[in-house]
Amino acid sequence: MSFTALILLITYETRWVHPEIHAYFSQSGNLTGQQLATRSRGYLQESLGLLLEGADEPAHRERALFQLELAYSLFDIGLYRREYACTEPNLARLDRLGQRLQAGEAPTPTELNRSLLAPIGCLTEIEMGQLDRRGLATNQFVEETRRHQTLVLLGSLLIYVLGIVFWWMHERQRRSAERATRESLKWMSRAMLDPLTGVGNRSALNEEIVQREGRPVGLLLIDIDFFKQYNDALGHPDGDRLLRRLAMLIDESLAGQARLYRMGGDEFAALLDCHEDATLAGDCQRLTEQLRAASLDHPAHPHSDHVTLSIGAARFIAGEAGLALGYAAADQALYRVKGEGRDGWEVARVEAAAGNAGA
């Protein structure tokens, strides 16, 4: 907006250059070449009038001589001598007339006409010439000013258009950069998600561990019992539906306190802030009970009519080493549960080691 305002200001200022220059040229006060010639002619005419009235009167001659000298001083200008050929001979005529008047001689009317009418004619020619020159100079100046004004206006317009073009290019680049960033973020977040259940995947768990570095956490590894048989009995689409249903059930059971991940196949992991094993035991117990309450049919389960889970849990300090230890401990607990007949849970006692949260 400020750029547009600047251009409008330049245009407005440029618009007023021409009238101001014109006003300057029209001002009165300085005597121009034309005005000097007019005055000189006026003195000559007065001198002529006085001498025609009474050249015999010494007082008339004296006043006429005074007017003549005034006229001469305004006529005797270098510019007139250079530019107007009639100047030199007529100044000589005035000179001669002046000498005669000074000598007390009275010129006849014929002599007067010869001596004064020619200089008056020359001064009239000079006036006209000077007027034309002034008009020409003014017109030329006005033309140049107009051309200058047009150039400034076009230049301003060009700057404006270029400004708009650069702004538009910059905007386009900024938007495409933003779009690219959004796309990459979308792809990055997709790369962290399990497409079937919508929960995070193994990479997301690793990322979360880095985020929680140094904090005591608990990890639950949750595996469906006899899922192969479930798939075999009901088909993979039903198996997929069960995976999605369980993801929701585990999430609800942990009451939003834990983040859920699918580690692959029929194994889920839940990560939560945790300071004591009792919390993990409580979570495992609640999950088992809620699954029982849900009574999800499992037609091919060898020991039950419903879906059951095996859970291994462990507590550790978040970090790369802590995760390796905690994961291994939870995994071993899970396989112990599997080995003991499934449908159960165990919280592992993590042995003292680097990254151990303590038993």
Ligand X SMILES: Nc1nc2c(ncn2[C@@H]2O[C@H](COP(=O)(O)OP(=O)(O)OP(=O)(O)O)[C@@H](O)[C@H]2O)c(=O)[nH]1
Give the interface segment with ligand X, choosing from 107-115, 132-140, 213-221, 237-245 (CB under 6 A): 237-245
Q: How many chain residues touch ligand X (CB under 6 A)?
A: 16
Decide if 41 contacts 118 (C-beta within 8 A): no
Asked if 277 touches ligand X (CB under 6 A), the answer is no
Closest residue to ligand X, Cβ-based? Answer: 239
Give the interface segment with ligand X, choosing from 102-110, 161-169, 201-209, 228-236 (CB under 6 A): 228-236
Residue 230: CB minimum distance to ligand X, A: 7
302-341 binders of ligand X (CB under 6 A): 338
Asked if 236 touches ligand X (CB under 6 A), the answer is yes
Residues 242-261: x where in contact with ligand X by CB under 6 A, - otherwise, as a string? -x------------------
> Interhelix angle for 227-234 vs 236-253, to 10°?
130
Q: Pick the closer one to ligand X by CB: 47 or 310.
A: 310
- The tokens of 216 are what? 């005591």
Long-range contacts of 235-240, Cβ-Cβ distance < 8 Å, separation of 24 or more: 240/196
**Helix (H/G/I), strand (E/B), else coil: 101:** helix
Asked if 228 touches ligand X (CB under 6 A), the answer is yes
Q: Pick the closer one to ligand X by CB: 143 or 240.
A: 240
Contact with ligand X (CB under 6 A): which of 49, 155, 265, 358?
265
Residue 302: CB minimum distance to ligand X, A: 10
267-273 vs 309-317, strand pairing mode: unpaired
* Rounded-to-integer distance, Cα 327 and Cα 68, Å: 126
Other beta carbons within 10 angstroms of residue 129's beta carbon come to: 16
Contact with ligand X (CB under 6 A): which of 43, 75, 80, 226?
226
Give the interface segment with ligand X, choosing from 57-65, 168-176, 231-239, 296-304 (CB under 6 A): 231-239
C-alpha atoms less than 13 angstroms from C-alpha of 245 in its C-beta half-sphere: 14
Asked if 225 touches ligand X (CB under 6 A), the answer is yes
Q: SS3 breakdown of the chain: % helix, strand, coil, rounded to 5?
A: 70, 10, 20
**Closest Cα to residue 306, out of 249, 237, 221, 236?**
249
Total residue count of the chain as it appears in this document: 359
Q: Site residues (CB under 6 A) for ligand X?
A: 196, 223-228, 231, 236, 239-240, 243, 265-266, 338, 342
